[in-house]
Structure formats: structure tokens, C-alpha cells
A = this chain, B = another copy of it.
């Protein structure tokens, strides 16, 4: 019997090596796999390259990983935010490397890695500083920049529900980078609210098929749901972190 279910977040992040390239899902706080990031922090892996849309919010989750100096390099599209003070301080002190990628190129590079595409010509960024030094080409009268696939050793993803094969569904805009990161990493580790019976997820609505998932761990229902029903959140900030 196939089971990708692990009993704890500690077990789920086991084996992540120093120097690993780690994709972390989420857009801001939505879909950020906070429990897995906390477990990675406790696990201790250092010298990491992190791929995320942002560079941490507040002092928890990815920001805490940065604060603990575990991240050597970050590849993202939008590090500077109102609450990105941890990253900002490290960056100004020259203590973290930044590769800035336009968000759509970031998403497409991740998607390319999962899809076995080596590189692609994208119009985004052509003629800008973020395309400097990159190969360009005109195709049917439009100008494109060549961007390469972006692979990772590990992906940490937050989804809503999973079955024991690792089939996943997400919730609203918390889906964001999860499905493409799950496909782009050698080892994909997923936290979900709950594990449901095999067959309980509608095959027409599975977003990430289980073949992309290596480990799943249930972390309990998110604070703004009760038995699957939305009950409101007292505060986005507090509950989402």
C-alpha cells in the first residue's frame, strides 16, 4: 500500500542537507508552509538557497529562517514589502545574496523545470536591466529573452487536503506557487489541513497529482476554518503567520 503520509513535520523535513536549494510555496503569507519552515529551522540545515516569491514577512516563517542565517541566497520577485525588515537588514548588510526575477519568469522557470523544458523565450523583461547579459531573439516580430529552467532539491508546499497517494487540492489564492514547485523539486514535502481517504478527492478537481509528492503531513485545520467551513479570521496577520 502506497502511503506518503509522515507522522510529524520533523520527520517530513528529515534529510534536507546543508547547501540545498529549497523552493518554498506561498505568496506573502497565503500558502506559506509555516509549520514546515519552522521544522526546517529546528532541523538546522544551513547555507540554503531559497526560491520564493517574496523574502519573508514579519518575523515568522521564512523571515525566521532568514533571521537565523540559514539562507545564503534567495531567488524571488518581490523581496521589499512593508514587513520585510528581516530581509532588508540582511541585504543592506551584504549578508544575503539576491537574484531578482520578474514574477512571471520565476513562475515559468519553475514550471519549465517540472515539465522537462530546458529553457524558453519569454517577452517579459526584454530591454530591461533584469535581462542584461541574457540571450535575446526576435520571433515573428516580437522580442524575447531566453530564460532557463529553475530546479530545486526540495519543495515545501502548503495545500488544503491530501490523500495517502499525495494527490492535493488547495484553497483559493493559497494555491499560487504550490503546484509548480511540487513538480520542480526532487523531493516535495507538503503540509495539509487533513489527510482524506483515497478516492475522496474528485479526480476532475485534483490540482497536484500524487506523483509529484514525496511526503505529506497533516498539521490541523487552519484557524479560519471549522470542519471545513469558513468562520472568519480575527486578523490576517496574526492567524496567517
Contact = CB atoms under 8 A, between A and B. Distances in A.
A106 to B, nearest CB: 14
Interface in A13-52: none
A142 interface: yes
Interface in A51-109: 108
A122 B118 CA distance: 6
Contacts of A121: 117-120
Nearest to A112: B120
25 contacts: A112-B120, A116-B122, A116-B123, A117-B120, A117-B121, A118-B120, A118-B122, A118-B137, A118-B139, A118-B140, A118-B142, A118-B144, A119-B120, A119-B137, A119-B144, A120-B120, A120-B121, A139-B148, A139-B149, A170-B204, A171-B204, A172-B203, A172-B204, A202-B205, A205-B205
A169 interface: yes
How many monomers of this chain does the complex have? 2
Which of A122, A142, A169 is most buried by chain B, counting CB atoms within 10 A of its CB?
A122
A233 interface: no
Contacts of A123: 116, 118
A115 interface: yes
Given A139-B148, A202-B205, A108 B115 contact: yes
Nearest to A169: B204
A207 to B, nearest CB: 8
Sorted from nearest, which 4 A-B pairs have the closest CB atoms? A118-B139, A118-B121, A120-B120, A205-B205
A120 B122 CA distance: 9
